[in-house]
C-alpha cells in the first residue's frame, strides 16, 4: 500500500488521469511521450477494454497514473452501451480528463459524440489537439476555436505526440491537477510496474484475439508476480479474472488446452517485446461484481 512507498521530501501529488479519444488519435503515442517510456506498446485492439491503468508518468513531485477507457464509440449492442457507461464512470472519477483528438479533420461526428458524453456526465476535461506537425497554424487555430465553441474545455493544448512538441507543457499542467497526497508507486519501481502492466496487456490481447466471440468484455489480467531469474530469464505469474464460472471454463478449455495455448502465445509476445526468455504462469479466478471505481483501480495498480 502507499504507506510502504518511500516518499520524497516535501509535498507530493498523486492521482489519476484518464485519456479518452477516438481510435488512432494517438493515445499510445502520447502515453509513451508523457512517460518517457522506451518500451512502447501500441495497442491495436480498440473498443475492447475497461478503464485500465496504462502507465505512470512522473513530473516533479507528482505521480500521474494514466488510465484509459475503451475507445468511445457508438454502441451497437446493449452490452456495449453498458461498457461505455461503465468506462465513463471511470473517466468521471479521474483527477484529470484529457480528450485527445487528431486535429486534422477538426470537429468530426466522432468528436461530437465524445463531447456529448462529456456534457452528459458533466466531466471537466482538457482538450489536446494532436498531430500538429501535420497541420498549418491557420488550420490549428480554426480547429481549436471550433472545439472550444462546442464545449467549455478547461484548457487547450496543441501537441505532436510523435515529436514531443507541446507535451511537456501538458505534463506540467496535469501534474498540477493531481491532488496532494502520497505517491502510489516508489519512483525506482515505476519502470518495473510499467513492464508488469505491459505483460498483463499482452495476455489480455491474446485472450481477446482468441476468445472475443465467447468472452467479449469479461476478463481482466493482472500480473501478480515478477521474479528475475539468475540466468536472465523472468518468471511471470498472472491471474486472469473473469466474472462467472462458465467463463472460467471457457478460458481453461477442455483439459486446460485453451489456457495452455493462451499462455504460449502471450509468452511468445512477451519474449519478443522484452527481448528475453519468459516463463509464464497463468491462473484463472472468478471475481464477481467487478467494479470500475477508483479504489479498484488503485488496488489494481498496487496489486501488480
Q: Summarize the annotated binding site as residue ranges.
A: 21-28, 68-72, 130-133
- 39 near ligand GTP (CB under 6 A): no
Asked if 238 and 203 count as a contact pair (C-beta separation under 8 A), the reply is yes
Q: Is 204 in the site for ligand GTP (CB under 6 A)?
A: no
Which position among 12, 123, 130, 203 is part of the footprint of ligand GTP (CB under 6 A)? 130
**Is residue 24 a contact point for ligand GTP (CB under 6 A)?**
yes
Q: What are phi and psi of 239, to 5 degrees?
A: -115, 130
Question: Cell triple for residue 199?
Answer: 505483460
Least Cβ distance, residue 125 to ligand GTP (angstroms): 16
Integer Cα distance of 43 and 94 in angstroms: 22
Task: Return the C-alpha cell found at 150.
Answer: 462546442
Contacts with ligand GTP: how many residues (CB under 6 A)?
20
Residue 25 beta carbon to ligand GTP: minimum distance, rounded to whole angstroms: 4
Q: Which residue is nearest to ligand GTP (CB)?
A: 26
Secondary structure class of 108 (helix, strand, coil):
coil
Please report whether residue 70 would count as binding ligand GTP according to CB under 6 A. no
Alpha carbon distance 229, 237 (integer Å): 13
Q: State yes or no: residue 166 binds ligand GTP (CB under 6 A).
A: no
Q: Does 23 bind ligand GTP (CB under 6 A)?
A: yes
* Binding-site residue ranges for GTP: 21-28, 68-72, 130-133
Question: Quick check: 38 and 114 in contact, CB under 8 A?
Answer: no
Give the DSSP letter string of 193-216: HHHHHHHHHHHHHHHHHHHTTT-S
Query: CB-wise, 20 or 242, nearer to ligand GTP?
Result: 20
| Separation between Cα atoms, residue 109 and residue 88, nearest integer Å | 19
- The stretch near ligand GTP (CB under 6 A) out of 78-86, 117-125, 130-138, 225-233 is 130-138
Dist CA 44 CA 76 (whole Å): 20
From the list 35, 37, 63, 160, which residue makes contact with ligand GTP (rule: CB under 6 A)?
A: 160
Round to whole Å and give the CA distance between 73 and 189: 35
Contact status: 164 vs ligand GTP (CB under 6 A) = no
Whether residue 279 contacts residue 235, with contact meaning beta carbons closer than 8 Å, is answered with yes
Contact between 133 and ligand GTP by CB under 6 A: the answer reads yes
Question: How is residue 184 written as a grid cell?
Answer: 502510489
Q: Determine which residue in the list 70, 71, 166, 263 makes contact with ligand GTP, applying CB under 6 A.
A: 71
* List 162, 191, 291, 302, residue binding ligand GTP (CB under 6 A): 162
Residue with cell 491532488: 179
Footprint on this chain of ligand GTP (rule: CB under 6 A): 21, 23-29, 42-44, 46, 71, 130-131, 133-134, 160-162
Amino acid at each position: 500500500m502507499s504507506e510502504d512507498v518511500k516518499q520524497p521530501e516535501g509535498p507530493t501529488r498523486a492521482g489519476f488521469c484518464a485519456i479518452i479519444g477516438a481510435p488512432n488519435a494517438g493515445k499510445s503515442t502520447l502515453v509513451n511521450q508523457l512517460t518517457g517510456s522506451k518500451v512502447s506498446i501500441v495497442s491495436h485492439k480498440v473498443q475492447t477494454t475497461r478503464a485500465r491503468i496504462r502507465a505512470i508518468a512522473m513530473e516533479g513531485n507528482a505521480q500521474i497514473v494514466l488510465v484509459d477507457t475503451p475507445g468511445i464509440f457508438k454502441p451497437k449492442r446493449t452490452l456495449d452501451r453498458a461498457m461505455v457507461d461503465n468506462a465513463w464512470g471511470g473517466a468521471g472519477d479521474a483527477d484529470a480528463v484529457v480528450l485527445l483528438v487528431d486535429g486534422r479533420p477538426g470537429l468530426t461526428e466522432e468528436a461530437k459524440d465524445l463531447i456529448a458524453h462529456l456534457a452528459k456526465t458533466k466531466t471537466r476535461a482538457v482538450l489536446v489537439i494532436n498531430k500538429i506537425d501535420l497541420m498549418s497554424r491557420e488550420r490549428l487555430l480554426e480547429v481549436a476555436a471550433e472545439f472550444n465553441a462546442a464545449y467549455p474545455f478547461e484548457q487547450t493544448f496543441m501537441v505532436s505526440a510523435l515529436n514531443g512538441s507541446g507535451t511537456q507543457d501538458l505534463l506540467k499542467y496535469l501534474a498540477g491537477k493531481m491532488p496532494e497526497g502520497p505517491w502510489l508507486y516508489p519512483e525506482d519501481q515505476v519502470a518495473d510496474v510499467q513492464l508488469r502492466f505491459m505483460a498483463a496487456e499482452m495476455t489480455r490481447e491474446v485472450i481477446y484475439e482468441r476468445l472475443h466471440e465467447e468472452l467479449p468484455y469479461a476478463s481482466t489480467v493482472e500480473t501478480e508476480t515478477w521474479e528475475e531469474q539468475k540466468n536472465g530469464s523472468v518468471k511471470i505469474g498472472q491471474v486472469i479474472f473473469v466474472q462467472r464460472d462458465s467463463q472460467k471454463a471457457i478460458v481453461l478449455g477442455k483439459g486446460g488446452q485453451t489456457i495452455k495455448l493462451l499462455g504460449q502465445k502471450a509468452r511468445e509476445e512477451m519474449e519478443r517485446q522484452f527481448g528475453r526468455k519468459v516463463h509464464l504462469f497463468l491462473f484463472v479466478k472468478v471475481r464477481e461484481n467487478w467494479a470500475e471505481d477508483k479504489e479498484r483501480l488503485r488496488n489494481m495498480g498496487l496489486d501488480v
